[in-house]
Amino acid sequence: MTEHASNPLSPEAFAAQETCLSPGYNQGLTSLHPPQKSLIRIGMIIRALILLALGLAAEIGLQIQLGVQPGMVLIPVALIAAVLVLVLPGRIYRRWGYDMGDEQLRVLRGFLWRTDTIVPFNRIQHIDVAQGPLQRMFGLSALILHTAGTHNSIVTLSGLATMDAEDMREIIKDHIRQDMI
Amino acid sequence: MNDISTRPVPDNSAPFQRLHPLSIVLKSMGTLGQNVFAILILHFSLFDQNIVYSMLAALTLITLVFGVTTLIWSRFTYQVTTREIRIKSGLLNRNNRSISFDRIQDVSLEQKLVSRLLGLATVALETGSGGGEDGQLDALARTDAEKLRDTIRDYKAGLTIGNDGADDKPVTADAPPLFAMDNRRIFIAGLFKFSFVLLAILGALAQNLDFLLPGGFFNPRSWIDAFPEQDTINGFSSWVRIGGALAAILSLIMIGFISGVVRTFVREYGFRLDRVDSGQPGFRRRRGLFTLTDMVMPIHRVQAAILQTGPVRARFGWYHLKFTSLAGDAGGETDHSAAPCASLTEIEPILDECAIHQARADLMFQWVNSAFWWRRAIIASLLLTSIALGTGLLVHSGLFAIILLGAPVSLISYLNWRQHQYALTDSQIYVRSGWWRRKLTILPLRKIQTVDVSQSPLDHPLNLATVTIGIAGGSPVRPVMIKNIDFDQAMSLRNRLITQTTNIPTAD
């Protein structure tokens, strides 16, 4: 650990850490329903389009004002957009995971900022199963757990197959008890 | 025998009541007070200091305010049934709210100075649904307010311990308080509440009332001119000038202390914490010089205890005990103040009431990874260096000195690291944090709701993690956190925290 310690921001050290973690990106937890990857990609495409539009505007503006070479802005932006759409969805997808225990649900979220939450079933106040229009297209649902905690009052596990989400809700429902606080 | 099944169904025949008529006067006065300024401004500007116009405007305003307040009052009704309270309010948009007694976290009575003279009290009901009070009855006659509180308390008593609990009602006023503060103690507490609020108020007053002061009051030149002999000042030695500057600084510090003491007296005067046993066992807190508050919080709602102190206060052994519960304290504070200035031996019996134990002397606190401070110090130094370079090159070479700020920032990070420790026992976790605002959170493991282990991008190369514990209540922006410990240590710590919540299904 000390060899990294001198330079915490070094990309090499970061990459080395990344590869040594690679066997179990999500620590061997259950992966999300595969169509979730497509959903993430759609979100990324939208972000990439916004980015491209902004880049185009910046490019035109800079060209008129300062006369910069064409492509000085657009090419890097296009590269970032390509990374967003082609590379990131798969990486984000494999970082997420959940584990349905007997007494608790474990949810692993996030890509760069990773959060690993455990919610004991008997601490859950109520449960939602939610589905947006895009999620419906892919047969996905989000399981939303409400706890009494002020921090983590809502824990969302998105990207479950609708059937799974409903099954999980039924299992958790039996554990909900009155007046936990 | 008095359990839920035999309890009578909520009787809807209970009459709808209005608030005390005097509350119209109270509220109108409040609204008028806010509008006196507007009248004054009109008097001096639009009406050109014509007293007749101004009086007419004032009269119109008073009638309007009284009329609207009366109308609002007449449309505000509440009904107390056997298990809930219903509040109907609203002039055009009618709002019909019912609050079940089960869901009420705590009941507080508040009496502002005018209310005390009129014998009124405001009842605030907290359900902990976030966003301040959920039901406020402003205002009832003091006796009605107390009756309402007792109704809620008795309902809860019947629910938890049946009839026998309601029978023996010890007179709590005679029992010695769990904790009380005399004037000397309040003075000590005030000394540590050093603040410049009074100065700010004085400044704001001067800003707003400057039309009362002679012209050029804030113009230093007019003051200098007021001295008959300017030369005498110039003739003073530099020592006298330094002395003058020191005196100015000292007087600022004095003002800071005085305002702290005054504010503490206004808030904490007559502080008294009792244990109430009629109904659900709870804490009853009374305090206030002008505004009297009287709050009752059930003991089983206490989620965690917080002991706050500072580097100076800790030397004298004074601590501020707070309880975290789902509902927040008055004045936007997230925790209920239970003993604003107490020694550890005084805090002990209060904590015993809610089965929370102080750390034993031999309990080993563990430190977090030293990356906690050096990483911050490096980032802050890099940031300050770039700012210093940027401004130093572009604006003024003196700004290179910004780099020197890195030293105090690093020192504070280091001191904060020294204070950030945690310890785990079989039933509780202790988390210490902060160097200047020292905070020891004592959290019974059975109150834990969720546990997070999180890593930021900077944590990955060092394999560190932060453990965040979700409890009911407390500050949403500053939850209980153990920052920057080893990842594996974090995972095993979480396992130990979580097994406590799941293995004891009867815990609540």
User: Facing residues of B422 across strands?
Assistant: B366, B431
Tens-place pLDDT, residues B430-487: 999 998 889 999 999 988 888 999 999 999 899 999 999 988 887 778 889 999 999 9
Task: Give the residue numbers spanning the domain of B212.
Answer: 197-267
Q: Residue B286 is encoded by which pair of tokens? A: 């009374």
Query: In this predicted structure, what is the pLDDT of residue B243?
Result: 86
Residue B106 distance to chain A (closest CA, Å): 13
pLDDT band at B159 (very low <50, low <70, confident <90, very high): low
Does A4 contact B461 at a Cβ distance shorter than 8 Å?
yes
CA distance A116 to A24: 14
Mean pLDDT of B384-406: 86
Contact B75, B89 (CB under 8 A): yes
Q: Does B501 touch chain A (CB under 8 A)?
A: yes
User: Sheet containing B120-126: which strands, arranged edge to edge?
Assistant: B135-141, B120-126, B106-111, B292-298, B282-287, B272-276, B179-180
> What does the mean pLDDT of chain B come to?
81
Mutate to test the interface with B, among A150, A157, A174, A176 (most CBs of B within 10 A): A150
For A1, nearest residue in chain B (alpha carbons): B462
Per the model's pLDDT, the better-predicted residue between A177 and A83 turns out to be A83
- Torsion angle (degrees, nearest 10) of CA B294, B195, B432, A114: 100
Does A5 contact B462 at a Cβ distance shorter than 8 Å?
yes
DSSP label at residue A85:
I
Q: Report CA-CA distances (Å) from B350 to B139, B180, B189, B354.
A: 32, 11, 18, 7
Q: Report CA-CA distances (Å) from A161 to A26, A131, A136, A140.
A: 18, 10, 10, 5
**Percent above pLDDT 70 for chain B:** 81
Three state DSSP letters for B44-72:
HCCCCCCHHHHHHHHHHHHHHHHHHHHHH
Mean pLDDT of A39-61: 93
Q: How many domains does chain B have?
A: 1
pLDDT band at A21 (very low <50, low <70, confident <90, very high): very low
**Residue for token digits 């405007």?**
B57
Per the model's pLDDT, the better-predicted residue between B137 and B210 turns out to be B137
Tens-place pLDDT, residues B201-256: 766 666 665 555 555 555 555 555 555 555 555 556 677 878 888 888 888 888 88
Tens-place pLDDT, residues B340-352: 999 999 999 999 9
Q: Report CA-CA distances (Å) from B14 to B97, B98, B342.
A: 16, 14, 45
Query: In this predicted structure, what is the pLDDT of residue A13?
Result: 44
Judging by DSSP bridges, how do beta strands B319-324 and B335-342 pair with one another? Answer: antiparallel
Query: In this predicted structure, what is the pLDDT of residue B226?
Result: 56
For B452, nearest residue in chain A (alpha carbons): A117
Tens-place pLDDT, residues B268-288: 999 999 988 776 788 889 998
Mean pLDDT of B65-78: 89
Please check whether residue B438 lies inside any domain of the structure: no
Mutate to test the interface with B, among A116, A121, A144, A151 (most CBs of B within 10 A): A151
Query: In this predicted structure, what is the pLDDT of residue B430?
Result: 95
Mutate to test the interface with A, among B449, B480, B504 (most CBs of A within 10 A): B449
Q: Residue B332 is encoded by which pair of tokens? A: 């936007």
Tens-place pLDDT, residues A97-150: 999 988 889 999 988 899 999 998 888 888 889 998 989 999 999 999 988 888
First to last CA, chain A: 41
Query: In this predicted structure, what is the pLDDT of residue B12?
Result: 58
CA distance A160 to A135: 10
Q: Residue B337 is encoded by which pair of tokens? A: 């103040």
User: Facing residues of B375 across strands?
Assistant: none
Q: Residue A54 is encoded by which pair of tokens? A: 């902004």
Per the model's pLDDT, the better-predicted residue between B197 and A36 turns out to be A36
CA distance A29 to B422: 29
For B129, nearest residue in chain A (alpha carbons): A148
Nearest to A154 by CA among B47, B17, B450: B450
pLDDT band at B13 (very low <50, low <70, confident <90, very high): low
| pTM assigned to the model | 0.75
Residue A122 distance to chain B (closest CA, Å): 7
Please check whether residue B42 lies inside any domain of the structure: no
Alpha helices in B269-370 (DSSP H): 311-316, 344-353
| In CATH, A97-173 is 2.20.110 | no
**Residue for token digits 């008593």?**
B157
* Chain A residues touching residue B303 (CB < 8 angstroms): 181
pLDDT of residue A7 exceeding 50, the answer is no
